Amino acid sequence: MAFQSSVNPAQLTVPGSDNFGADRRALYLKLFSGEMFKGFQNNTIARDLIMKRTLKNGKSLQFIFTGRTKSEFHTPGNSILGDTNGAPPVAEKTITCDDLLISSAFVYELDEVLAHYDLRSEISRKIGYALAEKYDRLAFRAITRGARKASPITATNYVEPGGTQIRVGSTTNDSDAYVAANLVAAFYDAAAALDEKGVSSDGRVAVLNPRQYYELIQAVGTNGLVNRDVQGDALQKGNGIIEIAGIKIYKSMNIPFLGKYGTAYGGTTGVTDPGNTGDFVGETLENASDASTGINNDYGTAAEVGAKSCGLIFQKEAAGMVEAIGPQVQVTSGDVSVIYQGDVMLGRLACGCDYLNPAAAVELYVGATAPAAF
């Protein structure tokens, strides 16, 4: 004899229903939304370090540059009608939104039933990571491009300062990029250059790869970057280097570094490949300037970015990011889920990045010749 429950189905608590709606799982998708956005936020650093603007009802955003003017002594009796050269000069910079950037996955409902772990939560985080990685890479390539450019203000006698490139070390070996003393000297040189070019000290940051960052930490006993009283704690926690010359330091695997992202191994780099690094560590730079691939700004080809760039120092005015669609989540439901017996989980983002004020961008490089502008 089969057992029958005496509980009325109408009395069952349905925590997944939206206000007692018919869909018993309507609210469960909120977990995915939160996980995806958290995954994006936790893995992008560029978003908070550069200028970010929301783009509405248009394909691009215009930024206006105003150059400097001059002062003069007034001659009694003369009318004051402005500078004779019409100063200050004005120029513009336009940033266009790239095509829709997406990351998606299809989750088969039966797999969710059979799995002993939360499929959606894990997949959603990886979707967020993928979007964040691309976001940072585009932003850092834009800053790299800006460090090699002249100012948009180029009027005669009113030329504004442009980007800065600073050599790390004095040999032609790529390993110079990992020498702590070389990096410290480059930081102070960069700080002086930014001061000389009138760039605000507020919001100055640097992004290095993890190997460079940890080389600085290992040398805290000799380079004076960490107070002796906290040196032991700093070494153990791996976060002792807070700033150099007022420049706050971040580490990322998404900066252009010796022709790759994050880390380069072998040759004269001074870093031994730890082995089993997979396909995403030390990934080779891709071409990112072809409109046919959905890119509408110039992030440069792999050859243009080059194999000698090894770090970035910049102030927030160095680059701008326009976002037409911020990080969002879309999930199929209803008839589509019934037909395919599963859901497509989609993370999307519509943005575009380019350099703004070249004077606020500094590129670190190794070798005898600075990388060319593109």
162-202 pLDDT per residue, tens: 999 999 999 999 999 999 999 999 999 999 999 999 999 99
**What's the predicted TM-score (pTM) here?**
0.84
Residue 22 exposed, middle or buried by CB count within 10 Å (0-12, 13-18, 19+): exposed
Q: pLDDT at position 292, please?
A: 67
Question: Which residue would you say has higher pLDDT here, 114 or 254?
Answer: 254
Domains of the chain: 30-65+86-365 (3.90.1690)
Percent helix, strand and coil across the chain, each rounded to 5? 30, 25, 45
C-beta atoms surrounding 198 within 10 Å: 11
Spatial distance between the Cα atoms of 304 and 259, rounded to a whole number of angstroms:
10
Contacts of 8 (CB under 8 A, 6+ apart): none
Pull the structure tokens for residue 154: 């180029």
Q: pLDDT at position 160, please?
A: 93
User: Residue with structure tokens 């206006």?
Assistant: 64
Cα–chain center distance at 202: 19
Q: Is the pLDDT of residue 250 over 80?
A: yes
Average of per-residue pLDDT across 350-373: 96
Question: Which residue would you say has higher pLDDT here, 235 or 202?
Answer: 202
Element (H, E) at 104: strand 101-108
Q: pLDDT at position 227, please?
A: 47
Element (H, E) at 43: helix 30-43
Structure confidence at residue 237 as a pLDDT band (50, 70, 90): low
Spatial distance between the Cα atoms of 45 and 133, rounded to a whole number of angstroms:
10
Question: Which residue would you say has higher pLDDT here, 40 or 192?
Answer: 192
> What tens digit of pLDDT does each residue of 304-343 get?
999 999 999 999 999 999 999 988 888 888 888 888 898 8
Structure confidence at residue 33 as a pLDDT band (50, 70, 90): low
> What tens digit of pLDDT does each residue of 122-150 get?
888 889 999 999 999 999 999 999 999 99
Average of per-residue pLDDT across 345-374: 96
Spatial distance between the Cα atoms of 352 and 270, rounded to a whole number of angstroms:
35
Q: Is the pLDDT of residue 255 over 70?
A: yes
Query: What is the DSSP secondary structure assignment for residue 130, as one 8-state letter?
Result: H
Spatial distance between the Cα atoms of 159 and 54, rounded to a whole number of angstroms:
30
Spatial distance between the Cα atoms of 147 and 145, rounded to a whole number of angstroms:
6
Question: Which residue would you say has higher pLDDT here, 161 or 269?
Answer: 161
Task: For the chain, give the percent of residues with pLDDT over 90.
Answer: 49
Average of per-residue pLDDT across 99-116: 85
The one-letter amino acid code at 251 reads: K
C-beta atoms surrounding 210 within 10 Å: 13
Q: What angle do CA 24, 29, 30 make, to 5 degrees?
A: 115
- N-to-C CA span, the chain: 80
Structure confidence at residue 7 as a pLDDT band (50, 70, 90): low
Q: pLDDT at position 228, please?
A: 45
Looking at every residue in the chain, the average pLDDT score rounds to 85
Cα–chain center distance at 338: 39
Spatial distance between the Cα atoms of 290 and 312, rounded to a whole number of angstroms:
24
Q: pLDDT at position 290, please?
A: 73
Q: Is the pLDDT of residue 232 over 90?
A: no
Q: How far is CA 93 from CA 46, 89, 299, in A?
A: 20, 14, 15
Do residues 30 and 186 make contact, with C-beta atoms less than 8 angstroms apart?
no
C-beta atoms surrounding 189 within 10 Å: 18
Task: For the chain, give the percent of residues with pLDDT over 70.
Answer: 84
User: Residue with structure tokens 């000799």?
Assistant: 222
Pull the structure tokens for residue 352: 């575009």
Average of per-residue pLDDT across 259-271: 84
